[in-house]
Amino acid sequence: STSRPVRVWVGGDSMGGELGFSLKPLLAAAGPFKPVTFYKESSGICRYDFFDWQKQMETVSRTVKPDAAVLMMGTNDTQSVAKDGEWIPYGQVAWKRAYEERVGDIIDTLLDGGARRVYWVGMPIMGEGWRNSRMRLINRVFRKQAEKRPGAEFIDIWDLYTTTDGAFDPSLRLNDQVHFTVAGQETLAERVMEAIMDDWLPSGLPAPAASPSASPSVAAPGAQG
C-alpha cells in the first residue's frame, strides 16, 4: 500500500548499478514500491578482499530491511576466489564449489533477514567470445542456487542481447561490449520489472509467500489479512 510500500533493494557491480538506474523510476512509477539502489564498481563474489558482498548483504538486511532484493553481479568473477586462506584458480571444481557457497549464502542472508523475494539477474552475452563460456558457467550457478531456495528467482536476460541467430548484438551495448547503452539499460529494467510485477501486483492474487525462515513483513496489494 502507499502507507507501507514494498521496499525493493537493487544492487551489484557496475552492471547492477546500470540496472538500478533504470529500474528505480519504473518501480517508483508503478505505485507501492520504495526502491533503494547501491552498487560497487569492479566488485564481485570472488574478491571479498576488495569488497565483501556477504557483509554488505548483512548490513542491507539489518538497515534497509528489504521486502524484495534484486542482485546483478558477476562481470568481474572470472578470477580466483579465496577459500580458507588459499586462492583457488578460476574453473577448478573447488572454485565452482566455493562460488556456489557464496551465492547461496547471499541469498540465504536476504531471505533469513526477512526478504520475501530475491531476484538474481543473470549475466548477458558479451562481445568478446572468450567471456561467454565463463558467463554461462556463473549463470548456471546463479540459477541452481536460486532454484534450490523458495523465494528466490533467477532472471535470464541472455536472449535480450543476442541477434536472431544467437550471436552478440552490439546495438544495446557500449563500445567495451560489456556495459549497456541507455536503451540497453531500459530493456534490462523492463525484463526485471516484469518479474517483480508478476509477484507483487498480479490482479487478485495474494502476496508472495514468506520464505520458510523469514517472518512476514508486508502484504502486497490484493492480499488478504
Nearest one of 23, 24, 137 to 77, comparing CA atoms: 137
Identify the DSSP state of 170. G
Grid cell digits, residue 141:
550457478
Residue 163: phi and psi, rounded to 5, are -80, 180
In the chain, % of residues over pLDDT 70: 89
Is position 207 within any domain? Answer: no
Is position 205 within any domain? Answer: no
Per-residue pLDDT at 212: 55
Query: Hey, which residues does 88 pair with through a beta bridge?
Result: 81
Number of domains into which the chain is organized: 1
CATH number at residue 128: 3.40.50.1110
Is position 110 within any domain? Answer: yes
Per-residue pLDDT at 1: 60
Q: What single-letter amino acid sits at 214?
A: A
Is position 169 within any domain? Answer: yes
With 90 as the cut, is the pLDDT of residue 3 above it?
Answer: no
This prediction has a pTM of 0.89
Is position 212 within any domain? Answer: no
Q: Are 18 and 179 in contact (CB under 8 A)?
A: yes
Is position 225 within any domain? Answer: no
Q: Are 68 and 200 in contact (CB under 8 A)?
A: yes
Domain that holds residue 122: 6-200
Per-residue pLDDT at 211: 58
Q: Residue 224 — very low, low, confident or very high, per pLDDT cuts 50/70/90?
A: very low
pLDDT, tens digit, 9 for 90 and up, residues 28-79: 999 889 999 999 999 999 999 999 999 999 999 999 999 999 999 999 999 9
Helix axes 93-112, 129-147, angle to 10 degrees: 50
Sheet containing strand 152-155, edge to edge, reads 33-39, 6-12, 68-72, 117-121, 152-155
DSSP 77-122: -SS-EEETTEEEPTTSHHHHHHHHHHHHHHHHHHHHTT-SEEEEEP
Per-residue pLDDT at 217: 41
- Give CA–CA dist 150/147, Å, rounded: 7
Is position 43 within any domain? Answer: yes
Burial of 122 (0-12, 13-18, 19+ CB in 10 A): buried
Helix (H) or strand (E) holding 39: strand 33-39
